[in-house]
Amino acid sequence: MMGKQTKALQHGAIALAFAAAFVGLAAAGNFYDECDATWEPQNCWAYDDGNRLSLALVSNSSGSMIRSKRQFVYGTVSTMIQLVPGDSAGTVTTYYTSSLGENQDEIDFEFLGNETGQPYTIHTNVYVNGVGNKEMQFKPWFDPTADYHNYTISWTPCMIVWYIDGTPIRAFRNYEASNGVAFPTSQPMYVYSSIWAAEDWATQGGRVKTDWSKAPFVASYNGIDLDVCECNGEDCVAGCAAKFGDWGRYCRLSDAELRQMQGLQSTYRIYDYCVDPKQWTNGQRPVECGLPQY
Protein backbone atom coordinates (compact mmCIF):
# COMPACT_ATOMS: atom_id res chain seq x y z
CA MET A 1 0.00 0.00 0.00
CA MET A 2 2.90 2.36 0.62
CA GLY A 3 5.09 3.33 -2.31
CA LYS A 4 8.84 3.77 -2.23
CA GLN A 5 8.57 7.52 -1.62
CA THR A 6 5.98 7.35 1.14
CA LYS A 7 6.67 7.45 4.85
CA ALA A 8 4.52 6.52 7.83
CA LEU A 9 3.55 9.58 9.86
CA GLN A 10 4.85 9.08 13.39
CA HIS A 11 5.69 12.42 14.94
CA GLY A 12 5.77 16.17 14.54
CA ALA A 13 4.74 19.46 16.08
CA ILE A 14 2.12 22.03 15.19
CA ALA A 15 3.36 25.23 13.60
CA LEU A 16 1.62 27.87 15.69
CA ALA A 17 0.43 30.84 13.67
CA PHE A 18 -2.38 32.83 15.22
CA ALA A 19 -3.72 35.08 12.48
CA ALA A 20 -6.52 37.56 12.17
CA ALA A 21 -7.32 36.93 8.52
CA PHE A 22 -9.67 34.15 7.43
CA VAL A 23 -8.00 31.08 5.95
CA GLY A 24 -8.22 31.02 2.16
CA LEU A 25 -8.68 28.07 -0.14
CA ALA A 26 -5.16 26.69 0.23
CA ALA A 27 -3.98 24.63 3.16
CA ALA A 28 -0.22 24.46 3.02
CA GLY A 29 0.99 23.14 6.38
CA ASN A 30 3.28 20.14 6.64
CA PHE A 31 1.89 16.94 8.18
CA TYR A 32 5.31 15.81 9.38
CA ASP A 33 5.62 18.98 11.43
CA GLU A 34 2.06 19.34 12.68
CA CYS A 35 0.48 15.94 13.39
CA ASP A 36 0.89 12.51 14.93
CA ALA A 37 -0.69 9.24 13.84
CA THR A 38 -2.61 8.16 16.94
CA TRP A 39 -4.54 5.11 15.67
CA GLU A 40 -3.34 2.38 13.27
CA PRO A 41 -0.29 4.34 12.05
CA GLN A 42 0.49 1.59 9.54
CA ASN A 43 -2.58 2.79 7.60
CA CYS A 44 -1.39 6.39 7.48
CA TRP A 45 1.38 7.70 5.29
CA ALA A 46 2.69 11.08 4.20
CA TYR A 47 4.49 11.98 1.00
CA ASP A 48 5.52 14.98 -1.09
CA ASP A 49 7.89 15.96 1.74
CA GLY A 50 5.01 15.75 4.21
CA ASN A 51 2.72 18.13 2.34
CA ARG A 52 0.28 15.36 1.44
CA LEU A 53 -1.22 12.58 3.49
CA SER A 54 -3.35 9.48 2.98
CA LEU A 55 -5.50 7.63 5.51
CA ALA A 56 -6.68 4.11 4.72
CA LEU A 57 -9.53 1.92 5.95
CA VAL A 58 -8.51 -1.70 5.39
CA SER A 59 -11.07 -3.66 7.45
CA ASN A 60 -14.08 -3.10 9.69
CA SER A 61 -11.74 -2.77 12.67
CA SER A 62 -8.69 -1.09 11.14
CA GLY A 63 -8.84 2.48 9.89
CA SER A 64 -6.53 5.36 10.76
CA MET A 65 -6.39 8.68 12.62
CA ILE A 66 -4.09 11.68 12.96
CA ARG A 67 -4.16 14.35 15.67
CA SER A 68 -2.48 17.70 16.14
CA LYS A 69 0.10 17.66 18.93
CA ARG A 70 -0.91 20.92 20.56
CA GLN A 71 -4.26 21.97 21.96
CA PHE A 72 -5.96 25.30 21.39
CA VAL A 73 -8.92 27.43 22.36
CA TYR A 74 -10.38 29.34 19.40
CA GLY A 75 -9.00 29.74 15.93
CA THR A 76 -9.41 28.51 12.37
CA VAL A 77 -8.40 25.06 11.17
CA SER A 78 -8.35 24.07 7.53
CA THR A 79 -7.36 21.20 5.25
CA MET A 80 -7.88 20.01 1.67
CA ILE A 81 -9.48 16.56 1.32
CA GLN A 82 -10.15 14.26 -1.63
CA LEU A 83 -12.66 11.69 -0.41
CA VAL A 84 -12.75 7.95 -1.08
CA PRO A 85 -13.78 7.39 -4.73
CA GLY A 86 -16.14 4.75 -6.09
CA ASP A 87 -18.17 2.55 -3.77
CA SER A 88 -17.53 4.10 -0.36
CA ALA A 89 -20.67 2.80 1.39
CA GLY A 90 -20.26 2.33 5.13
CA THR A 91 -17.11 4.45 5.36
CA VAL A 92 -16.77 7.66 7.35
CA THR A 93 -14.00 10.20 6.70
CA THR A 94 -13.69 12.99 9.27
CA TYR A 95 -12.13 16.36 9.97
CA TYR A 96 -13.01 17.75 13.38
CA THR A 97 -11.88 19.36 16.62
CA SER A 98 -12.36 17.76 20.02
CA SER A 99 -11.31 17.99 23.64
CA LEU A 100 -10.36 14.90 25.64
CA GLY A 101 -12.56 12.84 27.95
CA GLU A 102 -16.12 11.53 27.90
CA ASN A 103 -17.67 14.98 28.40
CA GLN A 104 -15.95 16.37 25.35
CA ASP A 105 -16.52 19.51 23.35
CA GLU A 106 -16.41 18.78 19.63
CA ILE A 107 -17.01 20.45 16.25
CA ASP A 108 -17.52 17.97 13.39
CA PHE A 109 -17.17 17.58 9.68
CA GLU A 110 -18.02 13.96 8.81
CA PHE A 111 -18.29 12.60 5.27
CA LEU A 112 -20.56 9.58 4.97
CA GLY A 113 -19.80 7.37 1.98
CA ASN A 114 -22.31 5.90 -0.45
CA GLU A 115 -22.74 3.47 -3.31
CA THR A 116 -21.07 4.28 -6.61
CA GLY A 117 -23.03 7.02 -8.34
CA GLN A 118 -24.77 8.22 -5.17
CA PRO A 119 -23.70 11.42 -3.40
CA TYR A 120 -21.79 11.62 -0.15
CA THR A 121 -23.51 13.07 2.90
CA ILE A 122 -21.70 16.01 4.52
CA HIS A 123 -22.53 15.80 8.23
CA THR A 124 -21.91 18.61 10.76
CA ASN A 125 -22.47 18.62 14.50
CA VAL A 126 -21.54 20.36 17.76
CA TYR A 127 -20.98 18.68 21.14
CA VAL A 128 -20.75 20.53 24.44
CA ASN A 129 -19.85 18.56 27.57
CA GLY A 130 -20.53 15.33 25.69
CA VAL A 131 -23.98 16.33 24.41
CA GLY A 132 -24.55 16.71 20.68
CA ASN A 133 -27.82 16.23 18.77
CA LYS A 134 -27.26 19.38 16.72
CA GLU A 135 -26.80 17.70 13.36
CA MET A 136 -27.11 19.44 10.03
CA GLN A 137 -26.42 17.56 6.79
CA PHE A 138 -25.84 18.52 3.17
CA LYS A 139 -25.47 16.85 -0.19
CA PRO A 140 -22.39 18.14 -2.04
CA TRP A 141 -22.77 20.47 -5.02
CA PHE A 142 -19.49 19.09 -6.43
CA ASP A 143 -17.80 15.70 -6.71
CA PRO A 144 -15.72 15.46 -3.50
CA THR A 145 -13.85 12.44 -4.86
CA ALA A 146 -12.64 14.00 -8.12
CA ASP A 147 -10.35 16.64 -6.61
CA TYR A 148 -9.31 18.29 -3.35
CA HIS A 149 -11.70 20.67 -1.63
CA ASN A 150 -11.06 22.92 1.35
CA TYR A 151 -12.89 22.23 4.62
CA THR A 152 -12.56 24.84 7.34
CA ILE A 153 -13.84 25.15 10.91
CA SER A 154 -13.78 28.62 12.50
CA TRP A 155 -14.32 28.67 16.28
CA THR A 156 -14.47 31.96 18.18
CA PRO A 157 -16.16 33.00 21.46
CA CYS A 158 -19.03 34.40 19.38
CA MET A 159 -19.79 31.66 16.86
CA ILE A 160 -18.73 28.51 15.02
CA VAL A 161 -18.74 28.54 11.21
CA TRP A 162 -18.22 25.62 8.83
CA TYR A 163 -16.83 26.52 5.38
CA ILE A 164 -16.33 24.56 2.16
CA ASP A 165 -14.02 26.16 -0.41
CA GLY A 166 -14.39 29.47 1.42
CA THR A 167 -18.20 29.46 1.41
CA PRO A 168 -19.97 29.24 4.78
CA ILE A 169 -22.43 26.34 4.93
CA ARG A 170 -23.51 26.63 8.57
CA ALA A 171 -23.11 28.92 11.58
CA PHE A 172 -23.81 28.25 15.27
CA ARG A 173 -23.88 31.37 17.43
CA ASN A 174 -23.02 31.56 21.13
CA TYR A 175 -26.29 32.15 23.03
CA GLU A 176 -25.09 30.63 26.29
CA ALA A 177 -25.14 33.80 28.40
CA SER A 178 -28.30 35.27 26.92
CA ASN A 179 -30.42 32.17 26.32
CA GLY A 180 -28.76 29.26 28.11
CA VAL A 181 -27.67 27.45 24.93
CA ALA A 182 -24.56 25.35 25.60
CA PHE A 183 -21.51 26.51 23.63
CA PRO A 184 -17.86 25.31 23.74
CA THR A 185 -15.80 27.94 25.56
CA SER A 186 -13.56 26.31 28.15
CA GLN A 187 -12.13 22.96 27.01
CA PRO A 188 -8.98 23.06 24.84
CA MET A 189 -9.32 21.02 21.67
CA TYR A 190 -7.13 19.09 19.25
CA VAL A 191 -7.65 18.78 15.49
CA TYR A 192 -8.32 15.27 14.19
CA SER A 193 -8.73 13.53 10.84
CA SER A 194 -9.72 9.89 10.52
CA ILE A 195 -11.30 7.20 8.40
CA TRP A 196 -13.29 4.38 9.97
CA ALA A 197 -16.03 1.82 9.37
CA ALA A 198 -19.65 2.54 10.29
CA GLU A 199 -21.69 0.32 8.01
CA ASP A 200 -24.33 -0.14 10.70
CA TRP A 201 -25.54 3.47 10.25
CA ALA A 202 -23.46 5.58 7.85
CA THR A 203 -25.09 4.79 4.48
CA GLN A 204 -28.86 5.04 4.19
CA GLY A 205 -29.27 4.28 7.88
CA GLY A 206 -27.20 1.11 7.63
CA ARG A 207 -29.24 -0.46 4.83
CA VAL A 208 -26.23 -0.43 2.49
CA LYS A 209 -23.20 -2.30 3.81
CA THR A 210 -19.52 -1.94 2.98
CA ASP A 211 -18.16 -3.98 0.09
CA TRP A 212 -14.90 -5.07 1.69
CA SER A 213 -13.66 -6.47 -1.62
CA LYS A 214 -13.08 -2.81 -2.55
CA ALA A 215 -10.71 -2.22 0.41
CA PRO A 216 -8.48 -0.42 1.11
CA PHE A 217 -10.58 2.75 1.07
CA VAL A 218 -8.25 5.77 0.92
CA ALA A 219 -8.91 9.44 1.71
CA SER A 220 -6.22 11.92 0.64
CA TYR A 221 -5.22 15.20 2.27
CA ASN A 222 -3.23 18.13 0.91
CA GLY A 223 -1.86 20.49 3.56
CA ILE A 224 -3.22 21.51 6.95
CA ASP A 225 -3.38 25.06 8.34
CA LEU A 226 -3.95 25.69 12.05
CA ASP A 227 -4.32 29.38 12.85
CA VAL A 228 -5.14 28.98 16.52
CA CYS A 229 -4.53 30.23 20.04
CA GLU A 230 -2.48 27.54 21.77
CA CYS A 231 -3.94 26.59 25.15
CA ASN A 232 -3.65 23.46 27.28
CA GLY A 233 -5.29 24.45 30.57
CA GLU A 234 -7.78 26.77 32.25
CA ASP A 235 -5.22 29.54 32.80
CA CYS A 236 -5.02 30.41 29.11
CA VAL A 237 -8.71 30.31 28.16
CA ALA A 238 -9.41 33.96 29.03
CA GLY A 239 -6.31 35.11 27.16
CA CYS A 240 -7.38 33.26 24.03
CA ALA A 241 -10.88 34.71 24.26
CA ALA A 242 -9.42 38.22 24.49
CA LYS A 243 -7.68 37.73 21.13
CA PHE A 244 -11.08 37.52 19.47
CA GLY A 245 -12.67 40.65 20.90
CA ASP A 246 -13.20 42.37 17.54
CA TRP A 247 -16.92 41.92 16.88
CA GLY A 248 -16.77 42.99 13.26
CA ARG A 249 -13.94 40.63 12.41
CA TYR A 250 -14.83 37.47 14.31
CA CYS A 251 -18.48 37.60 15.30
CA ARG A 252 -20.55 38.05 12.17
CA LEU A 253 -20.80 36.91 8.59
CA SER A 254 -20.62 39.52 5.89
CA ASP A 255 -23.77 40.23 3.90
CA ALA A 256 -22.27 38.35 0.96
CA GLU A 257 -21.41 35.34 3.13
CA LEU A 258 -24.89 35.31 4.62
CA ARG A 259 -26.47 35.27 1.15
CA GLN A 260 -24.15 32.46 0.11
CA MET A 261 -24.98 30.39 3.17
CA GLN A 262 -28.73 30.90 2.93
CA GLY A 263 -28.74 30.03 -0.77
CA LEU A 264 -26.67 26.92 -0.24
CA GLN A 265 -28.81 25.73 2.66
CA SER A 266 -32.03 26.22 0.72
CA THR A 267 -30.72 24.03 -2.10
CA TYR A 268 -28.36 21.47 -0.59
CA ARG A 269 -29.31 21.00 3.06
CA ILE A 270 -30.93 17.58 3.51
CA TYR A 271 -31.29 17.40 7.30
CA ASP A 272 -31.69 19.95 10.11
CA TYR A 273 -32.19 18.98 13.75
CA CYS A 274 -34.26 22.13 14.21
CA VAL A 275 -37.12 20.59 12.20
CA ASP A 276 -36.80 17.03 13.54
CA PRO A 277 -38.89 16.58 16.71
CA LYS A 278 -37.26 13.17 17.32
CA GLN A 279 -34.09 15.03 18.27
CA TRP A 280 -35.78 17.44 20.67
CA THR A 281 -35.69 17.03 24.46
CA ASN A 282 -39.15 16.56 25.98
CA GLY A 283 -40.71 17.59 22.70
CA GLN A 284 -39.34 21.13 23.00
CA ARG A 285 -37.76 22.77 19.97
CA PRO A 286 -34.21 23.86 20.87
CA VAL A 287 -34.05 27.51 21.86
CA GLU A 288 -31.33 28.37 19.36
CA CYS A 289 -33.49 27.20 16.45
CA GLY A 290 -35.60 30.33 16.80
CA LEU A 291 -32.62 32.69 16.99
CA PRO A 292 -30.36 34.11 14.23
CA GLN A 293 -27.23 32.02 13.68
CA TYR A 294 -25.23 34.62 11.77
DSSP category for residue 43 = G
Q: Does residue 192 lie in a domain region? A: yes
Q: Does residue 36 lie in a domain region? A: yes
Average pLDDT over residues 189-209: 91
176 is catalytic: no
Predicted pLDDT at 183: 97
Cα–Cα distance, 190 to 34 (Å, whole number)? 11
Q: Does residue 290 lie in a domain region? A: no
Q: Does residue 282 lie in a domain region? A: no
Predicted pLDDT at 28: 61
Cβ atoms of residues 237 and 75 within 8 Å: no
* Residue 56: strand pairing partners: 218
Cβ atoms of residues 90 and 63 within 8 Å: no
Cα–Cα distance, 159 to 173 (Å, whole number)? 4
Domain of 192, in residue numbers: 31-276
For 29-53, what is each residue's pLDDT tens digit?
789 999 999 999 999 999 999 999 9
Q: Does residue 166 lie in a domain region? A: yes
pLDDT value at 160 more than 60:
yes
106 is catalytic: yes
Mean pLDDT is lowest, of 19-33, 123-137, 178-192, 228-242, for 19-33
- HEC profile of 198-259: CCCCCCHHHCCCCCHHHCCEEEEEEEEEEEEEECCCHHHHHHHHHCCCCHHHHCCCCHHHHH
- Looking at 34, 40, 102, 110, which residue is catalytic? 110
For 122-157, what is each residue's pLDDT tens digit?
999 999 999 999 999 999 999 999 999 999 999 999
Cα–Cα distance, 26 to 165 (Å, whole number)? 9
Predicted pLDDT at 250: 74
- Looking at 34, 106, 199, 288, which residue is catalytic? 106
Cα–Cα distance, 245 to 97 (Å, whole number)? 22
Three-state DSSP at 117 gives coil
pLDDT value at 166 more than 80:
yes
Cβ atoms of residues 189 and 70 within 8 Å: no
Higher pLDDT, 102 or 164: 164
Helix H segments across the chain? 31-34, 176-179, 237-242, 247-250, 255-268
What distances in angstroms separate CA 236 from CA 33, 71, 73, 144, one per listed residue? 24, 11, 8, 37
pLDDT value at 237 more than 80:
yes
Q: Does residue 244 lie in a domain region? A: yes
pLDDT value at 84 more than 60:
yes
pLDDT value at 63 more than 60:
yes
Predicted pLDDT at 247: 62
Q: Does residue 183 lie in a domain region? A: yes
For 98-115, what is each residue's pLDDT tens digit?
999 999 999 999 999 999
* CATH code: domain of residue 56: 2.60.120.200
Mean pLDDT is lowest, of 31-40, 93-102, 200-209, for 200-209
Interacting residues of 81 by C-beta distance below 8 A, sequence separation 6+: 93, 95, 111, 144, 148, 149, 151, 193, 219, 220, 221, 222
Of 118, 130, 86, 124, residue with least CA distance to 274: 124
Q: How many domains does the chain have?
A: 1
DSSP category for residue 59 = B
Average pLDDT along the chain: 88
Q: Does residue 118 lie in a domain region? A: yes
Predicted pLDDT at 12: 30
